[in-house]
Chain A
Amino acid sequence: MKVKYFAWVRERVGKAEEMVEPPASVRTVDDLMVWLARRDEGYAHAFERPRVIRAAIDHAHVKPDAMIAGASEIAFFPPMTGG
């Protein structure tokens, strides 16, 4: 699946998007954050406070307990500050 990062999540991870293939044990958005955070220091920094991070699956907001099976694009970003 494709994962996208925005704003300071993108800066900390060091890339805007990538393809990932998490193991089957990674079932929810929360699981995916924990799994990504183990990759390196940048990811660990980006996901150090997972409660602050917002997520979207296929362009719709989701809660951390949302299942990721079947998702083609998952995005992680800080709370929004538009308008």
Chain B
Amino acid sequence: MTARVTIRIQEADFDIAKEIAALTQGRTDIGAVVSFSGICRGSEGSETVAALTLEHYPEMAEAEIARHAETAMSRWPLSGLTVVHRVGRIAAGENIVLVLTASQHRQAAFQAAEFLMDYLKANAPFWKRAESAAGTGWVDARRHDDDAAARWTKS
């Protein structure tokens, strides 16, 4: 069976159940699907966040996600993966990103999903602007996210 790789950047919300069905439909070789959803948190530190607006660099975002998807496919025995990243204005509580990984066994699916999210956070060209009572401002990158991505290159 060939691996199913789906990568989309879109303004619209996504339906997790439909995305999982698209990944697994008609296949009997998949034993595990891991689903990660990143959701717009209604707070940043002590600030209340009403919404985030995500800006991106379209051509590079697609290229970066595709590169990371290829790396994940070569590193773990995956049957397929799906990455959907939203852009535009996203209200608190709404979905931002979806990563699905499918494999015969759970370990590969868990690890590949974590790898993809760590790499997306640190390397995919998206920027969040937060709306709060104090006004709007760009969200600062976290050192923690770079460290999380770096640990996959150590071993």
Contacts and interface: CB of A to CB of B under 8 A. Distances in A.
A78 B57 contact: no
Interface string A41-83: 0000000000000001001110000000000000101111111
Nearest to B62: A59
Interface string B59-72: 11101100000000
Nearest to B63: A59
B57 A4 contact: yes
B57 A82 contact: no
A6 B54 CA distance: 11
Interface in B74-119: 85, 96-97, 117
A83 B38 contact: yes
A8 B129 CA distance: 10
Interface size class of B (residues with CB under 8 A): 20 to 34
Contacts of A79: 140-141, 146
B124 interface: yes
A7 interface: yes
Contacts of A4: 57
Interface string A3-35: 010111000000000000000000000000000
Interface of B: 38, 54-57, 59-61, 63-64, 85, 96-97, 117, 120-129, 138-141, 145-146
23 contacts: A6-B55, A6-B127, A7-B127, A7-B138, A59-B57, A59-B64, A60-B60, A75-B60, A77-B57, A78-B141, A80-B122, A81-B128, A81-B138, A81-B141, A82-B54, A82-B56, A82-B97, A82-B121, A82-B126, A83-B38, A83-B96, A83-B120, A83-B121
